[in-house]
Structure 1
Amino acid sequence: MGDLLSKIGEFKDKLGKWLNGEEVDLGNIHDGMKKGSEFFHSLTWKHWVAIGGFCVLVGVLAAVLTFKTADEAAPKDLDPNQTIFLSVKKGMSAGDITEELLKHGIINNKKAFWLQVKKGDVADKFKSGTYAFKPNTPPEEIIAKLVAGDTTEVKFTIPEGFGVKEIAKRLSDEGLVDEQEFLDKAKNFAPYSYIKRDKDIRYACEGFLFPDTYVLHDDPSVDGILKMMAEDLDTRLTSKLRQRAEEMHLSIHELITLASLVEKEAMYEEDRPIIAQVFFKRLKLGMPIQSDTTIQYLLDAPKEDVSIKDTKIDSPYNTYQIKGLPPGPIASPGMAAIKAVLYPADTDYLYFVADRQGHNHYSKTYAEHQQIVEQVR
C-alpha cells in the first residue's frame, strides 16, 4: 500500500508540472502503476469504500487550494471594460506568458488555461507582439489571439507634470512595463550630455521624458520607451530654443529644472510666465526660491499644504533651505512651461500663492504676501 501511495504521489507531482508547461516523463512510473493494479484486484468492497472516500476528500481539498491560489495571484477589482496590454517578447515560454496573463488579471486560473493550451497542443505556437485583452478573457479567445498573432497598436499618454514614479506606475497599470524595472533603469538613463548623473539626483532622466501621447508599433520595452520619450524632448528643443537658453545663460539642464518647477506650480496658462519671472528675480537677488513643489517631491504622498516642519527637511531639493536651483527637475514639463522660462513675463513680483481653485495671486512685498495668504487660504 505504501509503495502504491508513493507512486500515486509521484504521478500527481509530475502531472502538476505537466499542467504548468514543464516537460516530464510520465512513462517511468508505468511499472509502479501496473503493480498497483494487481494490488487493487486483491481489495475487498470495504477497502474500496474507504479509499473512495479518501480520494473524494483529497480531490475537494486540491480543488479548493487550486482555485484559492489562482484567485490570490490574480489582481482584484478590475474594471471589466478595461483594456489590458500584454507584451509577449521573443524567447518567452508559454509558461512565462501564462504567468503574465495571471499577473495582469487577463486570466484568473492558471491551470484551467494550461489545460486548454495542452488540449490544443499550441504551447510553442504563441507569437510575440503586443496584445489587447479584457480582464478574465476566456482561455479559448486568448489562445486564438496568441496563435494568430492578433497584435494591436499600443497608445499611451503621459500628462504634463508627471514624474518618473508616476510614469512608471501608469505604464505598469497599462501592462506595458514592469514598474520596478522602469524605476531601476531610470536612475541612470542619461542618453544626452545635458542629462546629469549625480548622487543627489534620484532619477537621472527625471524631467527629460517628454509628456506626450505615444504610439508603439513594436514590442514595448523599458529601454525602448525611455529612449523614445527622451528623443521626443530632444527633438522639441529646437536650435531656436537652445539659442534662446544660451542668451539667458541657461544650460539645458537648468532650463528643464526651472520649467519643471513652473509646471508643478501653475495650473493655468497665464500663470506660467509670471511664476517663471518670480523665480528668476529670486535667483538674481540670492533669495531662496521657496517652491512648495520641491517639498512635495520629497514627501511620500502629496499634501494640500506643506507645513513649517516640512520646510525644515534636510535635502538639496528643499528650496526653502538652499539658494539656487535643486539638483535637477522634479517632473516632466510640457512645452508651455519650457517656453515660459525662456520668455518670462516682465514683473516686479517676488511672492505668489495659489488659492483653492489653483489661481495664483502675486505681491511685491512680504507684508502684502501675508495679507493675500490670509485671504485665499
Structure 2
Amino acid sequence: MTDYGRGQSLPSWHPDDPLFGDQGWDGGRDAAHPGDGGPQAGQYADPYSTGQHQVPHQQGYYGQQPQQGHYGQGGYEGGGPYDTGQGVGATDPRGMPAVDPYNTGQQPGYYAAQQGYPQQHQQQAQGYPGQYAQPGGQAGPDGYLPPHPGGPGGGPGRPEADPETGWDPGPDQGEHAFFADSDDDDEGYDDDHPKRSGRRNRDGDGKRRRGCACLAVSVVLMGGLGTAAYYGYGFYQTYFAPAPDYSGKGSGQVQVKIPDGASIADMGDELQKAGVVKSARAFVEASQAEKKSSGIQPGTYSMRKKMSGAAAVKLMLDPASQNGLIISEGLRAKAIYALVDEKLGEPKGTTEKVAKKARPSQLGLPRFAKGNPEGFLFPSRYSVGEGSAPEDVLRDMVGRAKAEHTKVDLAGQARKVGKTPEEILTIASLIQAEAQQDDEFGKVSRVIYNRLDKDMRLGFDSTINYAKGRSSLDTSVEDTKFKSPYNTYLNPGLPPAPIDNPGHQAIEAALKPTKGNWLYFVTVKPGDTRFTASKAEHDRNVQDFNKEQRKNKENGG
C-alpha cells in the first residue's frame, strides 16, 4: 500500500445504468489492479467492451488529448472517467468493481493527505490537462511538474528544478503564491523578512497615497462647498434678501439723464450709477409699490444723492425735478424756440437765430425740408440738463421726428396715397391744427383729400393764423384776403410747408383718412364739430358757430 492507498469500497454499480451487464465487462478486482492478474496492468479495465483500456479522455472537457494514467509507487494517478478517488481494485459487496460512473472527481486517498491544498489540486486536475502530481517530484509524461510541494516519495520539501529546463518554481509559485500577499499570509514572517518588509513599505506607500487622495478629495469638496455657499448667498441676496437701500431724502444735487425707451430697471441702473440710490433693485421695488410710477418718462432729472428708493420715485414724479422740455402736438417752431430759450436760460431769440443759421446737416433735416425745421420738431419730452446747447436740443427733436417717420414708413405709405412725404407732413400739420377730438382726425383728413380731389380751396382759418403769426378763432372777411402763400382762402392746394409740428396721431390720419364724402366741417363749440357734404347745411352750421361766439363775448369769454 502506498501513500495514496486504495481507499474504501465504492458503492455498488447501479443496475439501472445502461452499461450494466454489457459484454466484455470485467468487473473483477484483478482486472483493475496491476500485478493482480488483471489485463494490462497499469490501466483501467474496459467496462464497455470497446477493446481499449480506459484512460481519462478529455474530449469536450479537457480538450482532445487523452491523459495517460500512471502507476507510481504502488498507486494509480490521473483518474479515469469514473474514478472516485477511492483507489483502484475496490469492490462492492457483490464483487463488482468499485467505479464511480458519475465522476465526482473526489480522491480522498490522495488529497486528504495534502493538508491545505484540496482545492488547488482539484482545480489543477480539472483545469490543466495532464498536470497531475507525481510522487517524488518527478515530471509526468506530459512534461508538467507536480503542483504539490513534496519531496521524493511524497515527502515534504520543495520540488526539485526541472532537469531539462532548469526551471525552479520556488516557494511562491502556484495558486497559493497568488494569494500569498494577502494580510492573512503575513503571519509567520519576521520583521526582517524581505517579503514582509517589502509589504510594509508598500503598505506605507499605499497609506500615504490614500492619505493624499483623501486630502485632495477634501480640498475639492471644501472648494465646491465654498463656491456653492458663495453663489447661494448671491442668489439669496438677489431674490430674497431686502434690497440694499439708503434712508431719507438724500442731500446735494445731481443731474440724471434717463434715455429714451428706458425701463424702470434701466432707470434704477442710471440712478445707482449717479449715486442717487444704493441699488437699482431698491428703486424698482419702490416703483412697484407706487401706482403712478408708470408716469415716469425719459428725460433729465434734478436728483439728490443717497436717496431711498421710495424718495427717488416720489421726486421723479414731481414736475419740479424734471429738467425735461415738453413739446406739445401742434406747436409752431417759433413757440418751441421760445421754450428752449426759457429752459436753457438763454436770451429770447437765441434758439431761433441758431435754427436759421444752422445748416440742414447740422440739425439732421432731410432735403425736402429745404432748411426749414417746421414740421420736424417732433412733439415729445426732451432732456435738457446743465450744459445743453440750443443746437443740441433741436437736433434731438429732428432725430426723434426721423425715427417716427421711419417707424410709420412715411415714404412708402405716402406713395400709396399718391403724395410725397413733405405733402403728408403738411396735411398732418393741418389736421393737428383743426381737429380737437380723437375721432375727428380721420374725418378732417378726409375733407382735405376730398377738396384737393375736387380742386377746391381748403379755406382753413389755421393757415391764415399761421401766416399772420397768431392764434384766433375769429377770422374776418378781411383776414381771408391776407396775401400769403399760406392763405388757403386765396391759394388752391396745400400750403408750401407744414404750419406746425404734428404728432403721431396726425401723421397716421394723414396717411389713412377715414372714408366719407365730407367737404365741410366747422367746430361750433368744443366737442361739437359738424361734418357735412352739403353747402347749405354747412352754412347753417356756420350760423350756429357765430351765435356761439357772440354768446361767449357777451359772457366775457
Identify the TM-score tier after normalising by the shorter chain: 0.5 to 0.7
Secondary structure class of the residue paired with 2:492: coil
Show CA shifts across 1:49-76 (max 9, x none).
Answer: xxxxxxxxxxxxxxxxxxxxxxxxxxxx
* Cα gap change, 1:162 to 1:327, in 2 (>3 Å): same
Look up the match of 2:467. 298
Match 2:370 to one of 197, 209, 213: 197
Look up the match of 2:384. 216
Contact 1:171 1:179 in 2 (8 A): no
Cα deviation for residue 263 of structure 1 reads: 0.2
Cα deviation for residue 355 of structure 1 reads: 1.5
Q: Name the larger-Rg structure.
A: 2
1:157 has 2:326 as partner: yes
* Cα gap change, 1:183 to 1:240, in 2 (>3 Å): closer
1:227 has 2:395 as partner: yes
Contact 2:343 2:384 in 1 (8 A): no
How far apart, CA to CA, are the structure 2 residues paired with 1:178 and 1:330? 25
Look up the match of 1:332. 501
How far apart, CA to CA, are the structure 2 residues paired with 1:194 and 1:366? 40
Look up the match of 1:371. 540
1:269 has 2:438 as partner: yes
Look up the match of 2:483. 314
How far apart, CA to CA, are the structure 2 residues paired with 1:209 and 1:235? 12
Look up the match of 2:336. 167
Look up the match of 1:350. 519
Q: How does 1:1-377 map to 2 (within 5 A)?
A: 154-187=323-356, 190=360, 191-197=364-370, 204-216=372-384, 219-238=387-406, 240-242=408-410, 243-377=412-546
Aligned AA (1:159) = S
* Cα gap change, 1:344 to 1:131, in 2 (>3 Å): closer
Cα deviation for residue 173 of structure 1 reads: 2.6
Secondary structure class of the residue paired with 1:159: coil
Aligned AA (1:225) = V
State the TM-score, normalized to the length of structure 1. 0.56
Structure 1 consecutive aligned stretches of length 4 or more whose deviation exceeds 4 Å? none
Look up the match of 2:211. none
Farther off after superposition, 277-286 or 168-177: 168-177
Cα deviation for residue 178 of structure 1 reads: 3.9
Contact 1:176 1:220 in 2 (8 A): no
Cα deviation for residue 177 of structure 1 reads: 4.0
Contact 2:376 2:401 in 1 (8 A): yes
Cα deviation for residue 192 of structure 1 reads: 3.1
* Cα gap change, 1:188 to 1:356, in 2 (>3 Å): farther
Aligned AA (1:376) = F
Cα deviation for residue 291 of structure 1 reads: 0.9
* Cα gap change, 1:358 to 1:188, in 2 (>3 Å): farther
Cα deviation for residue 220 of structure 1 reads: 1.3
Contact 2:338 2:351 in 1 (8 A): no
Contact 2:455 2:492 in 1 (8 A): yes
How far apart, CA to CA, are the structure 2 residues paired with 1:188 and 1:267? 35
Contact 2:524 2:541 in 1 (8 A): no
* Cα gap change, 1:224 to 1:299, in 2 (>3 Å): same
How far apart, CA to CA, are the structure 1 residues paired with 2:323 and 2:482? 41
Aligned AA (1:170) = L
More helix by share: 1
How far apart, CA to CA, are the structure 1 residues paired with 2:393 and 2:330? 18
Q: Give aligned pairs, total.
A: 226
Show CA shifts across 1:261-287 (max 9, x none).
Answer: 100001111100000010011111111
Farther off after superposition, 249-258 or 299-308: 299-308
Aligned AA (1:154) = N
**Higher relative contact order at CA 8 Å, sep ≥6: structure 1 or structure 2?**
1
State the TM-score, normalized to the length of structure 2. 0.38
How far apart, CA to CA, are the structure 2 residues paired with 1:310 and 1:358? 25
Secondary structure class of the residue paired with 2:336: helix
Secondary structure class of the residue paired with 2:525: coil
* Cα gap change, 1:234 to 1:177, in 2 (>3 Å): farther
* Cα gap change, 1:358 to 1:167, in 2 (>3 Å): farther
How far apart, CA to CA, are the structure 2 residues paired with 1:258 and 1:188? 27
Aligned AA (1:366) = K
Cα deviation for residue 240 of structure 1 reads: 4.6
Show CA shifts across 1:72-114 (max 9, x none).
Answer: xxxxxxxxxxxxxx9xxxxxxxxxxxxxxxxxxxxxxxxxxxx
Cα deviation for residue 176 of structure 1 reads: 4.6
How far apart, CA to CA, are the structure 2 residues paired with 1:336 and 1:239? 13
How far apart, CA to CA, are the structure 1 residues paired with 2:447 and 2:494? 13
Cα deviation for residue 172 of structure 1 reads: 2.2
Secondary structure class of the residue paired with 1:174: helix
Cα deviation for residue 165 of structure 1 reads: 1.1
Cα deviation for residue 302 of structure 1 reads: 2.1
Cα deviation for residue 294 of structure 1 reads: 0.4
Cα deviation for residue 356 of structure 1 reads: 2.2
* Cα gap change, 1:346 to 1:194, in 2 (>3 Å): farther
Residue segments in structure 1 that go unaligned for 5+ positions in a row: 1-85, 87-129, 133-151, 199-203
Cα deviation for residue 257 of structure 1 reads: 0.7
